[in-house]
Structure 1
Amino acid sequence: MLEGLPPNDATHVMRVAAPRTTAMRISDLISESFDPADVTVAIFEQAEDDWLVEVFAGDAFDAERLRELVGFAAGEELAAAVTFSAVEEKDWVAASLEGLAPVKVGPFMVHGAHDRCRVPASAIGIEIEAALAFGTGHHGTTQGCLAAIADIARIGRPQRVLDVGTGTGVLAIAATRRFHTQVVASDIDIVAVRTAKVNARANKAGAGMTLLHAAGADARNITAGGPYDLILANILLPPLKRLARPLRALLAPGGRIVLSGLLVSHVPAALAAYRSQGLHLVSRRHIEGWATLVLAADR
């Protein structure tokens, strides 16, 4: 997945400005209507109650369908205001590094190589360069998951950890460094797996991480490592709902599941999917409009 970056093959972008609530409604509908591997949706605040929705895609770009979805979510006036353009050829990795400061969450400090000297000795430094994978630490979902890992560390030490949709590997690295245990991390995107392997080695976590290229959570090399005491899944609502059953089957007694990639408005739907599998909410955290949920099995 991507954090503020278009897909590898993005050729076109749709843009529309709207008030915050309307922009989130447009973002939600488009996100749920396309495969997240093909279409990336981002929203940015431009001014008070003035937000910009951007939709990037390559072969999956369907301007007519996107305009219809905007109309359904926000009315024909906004649908008429939608603009489409070709994606500018640009070094997105270099551009995304501009102005990225280190992010401190609990004991963790996520930073780029340019800020390595700013990490205090007391922090667990995690060096992640912006890349074509999700998770530089600056997004509310990544921060929420890091905070959840820190919370869980205060009450115990999971022996087996699974990170589904690992992206840059930031959460798997954090779990490996904090718990000093083996972590299985997977992603459907081979670019993300390669990126995570590089980051794991750079953070001296490679020996503690098993990186897998796999779709879903029922691949044999994932199930073989279970059951897991801690499962991390920072993805998006549609795949999280599909994963409810297989993740429940992989959870060890007394274990925890951490879910994110959810707008606050997505929380009821996510909870409904996991409650149907015998899980209940332990805690929730909201950061910049994004929600992170910690779940456990009912007794």
Structure 2
Amino acid sequence: MSRPPEPTLWQLALTLPFDQVEGISDIFEEEALTISMEEAVSDGSLWRLNILFPQEPNAQLLDRLPADIPMELAPLEQKDWVSESQKMLPPVDAGRFYIHGSHDSPHPANSRHNLLIDAGAAFGTGLHETTYGCLLALNDLRKSRSFRNPLDLGCGSGVLALAIAKAWNIPVLASDIDVAAVIVTRDNAKKNQLAHLTTAVLSAGLNNRKLSEMAPYDLIVANILAWPLMKMAPDISNALSKNGVLVLSGLLGSQDVMVRSAYLQQGLNLKRRYAIGTWNALVLGR
């Protein structure tokens, strides 16, 4: 029996001023799979919204856009993730964490935290600067802090949730808006003999009831993107315990000030910054 064809995803790219981003995002929030945001020009005056749909969006939805906003709509190229996962990615050294694929051997030192993470359909092998910055932050936190109730919000491959479980030997709740990420996280937890410490659930932000029931968290790691981090600042801050630690990443250095401002309004101050290339990871606390 032949396999059914993969569904065609569509991407809508919009270029617009920052003050229009929230209103335009709200138009597509119910129909889109994901909405991401990046600077279109270096001075921050224009931003690019990348909106992913499970199918071609209908004309009535697109007609709600102002006529003067430049847009690009096209089917998204489908990747063979099985083939992609076989690419020979190098291991990642981040403090005591050693992230490697199936094609590499674990680190021989007993003092290292080995994690087996193959490239796949979910974001996060440790190679990207955002994930690497979070791993460095967790490595440093391990030297001075203990945690009992952590959350990996937007877990992707689950690498950060597994790093927390490995370093502190504690149960970790992981969540993602993408069902593929939840499946991959559960699979990676099994591969690393950490399934007994890792719970992965599907959630848009903190809307899943389990996330509410488990709050407050003494450690929250959110490696997402600048715009959703800003939008969720009140919810994330409310879910953090009084003396909790918040690790944020997925933001460019040029987005640092506006992301920190959103959390400063919630009473959270910068404790440490990890600048990796053009990306930043921030450690915040009250």
Separation of aligned partners in 1, 2:162 and 2:262: 28
In the alignment, which of 189, 204, 212 is matched to residue 215 of structure 1? Answer: 204
Matched residue, 1:186: 175
Separation of aligned partners in 2, 1:184 and 1:139: 22
In the alignment, which of 65, 83, 91 is matched to residue 94 of structure 1? Answer: 83
Helix, strand or coil at the partner of 1:267: helix
In the alignment, which of 113, 136, 146 is matched to residue 102 of structure 2? Answer: 113
In the alignment, which of 186, 189, 197 is matched to residue 197 of structure 1? Answer: 186
Matched residue, 1:257: 246
Partner AA of 1:166 in structure 2: C
Matched residue, 2:161: 172
Query: What's the offset of the Cα at 1:143?
Result: 0.4
> Structure 1 residues 141 and 244 mapped into 2: Cα distance closer, same or farther (>3 Å)?
same
Matched residue, 1:4: none
> Structure 1 residues 147 and 31 mapped into 2: Cα distance closer, same or farther (>3 Å)?
farther
Q: CA RMSD in A?
A: 3.4
* 2:113 pairs with 1:124: yes
Query: What's the offset of the Cα at 1:259?
Result: 0.3
Separation of aligned partners in 1, 2:198 and 2:112: 21
* 2:283 pairs with 1:294: yes
Q: Is the 8 A contact 1:104 1:110 kept in 2?
A: yes
Matched residue, 2:149: 160
Separation of aligned partners in 1, 2:259 and 2:166: 29
Q: Is the 8 A contact 2:156 2:176 kept in 1?
A: yes
Matched residue, 2:218: 229
Helix, strand or coil at the partner of 1:224: helix
Kindly provide the CA deviation profile for residues 207-252 of structure 1, in whole angstroms up to 9, marking residues without a partner as x.
1112111111243211221221111000111211122111111212
Q: Is the 8 A contact 2:98 2:113 kept in 1?
A: yes
Partner AA of 1:196 in structure 2: T
| Structure 2 unaligned residues grouped into runs of 5+ | 1-5, 40-47
Separation of aligned partners in 2, 1:9 and 1:265: 36
Separation of aligned partners in 2, 1:199 and 1:218: 24
* 2:230 pairs with 1:241: yes
Query: What's the offset of the Cα at 1:288?
Result: 2.0
Matched residue, 2:3: none
How many residues are treated as equivalent by the alignment? 260
Query: What's the offset of the Cα at 1:11?
Result: 4.5
| Structure 1 unaligned residues grouped into runs of 5+ | 1-7, 16-24, 44-52, 72-78
Structure 1 length-normalised TM: 0.74
Partner AA of 2:167 in structure 1: R
Separation of aligned partners in 2, 1:41 and 1:253: 30
Separation of aligned partners in 2, 1:274 and 1:257: 10
Separation of aligned partners in 2, 1:213 and 1:85: 27
Partner AA of 2:190 in structure 1: R
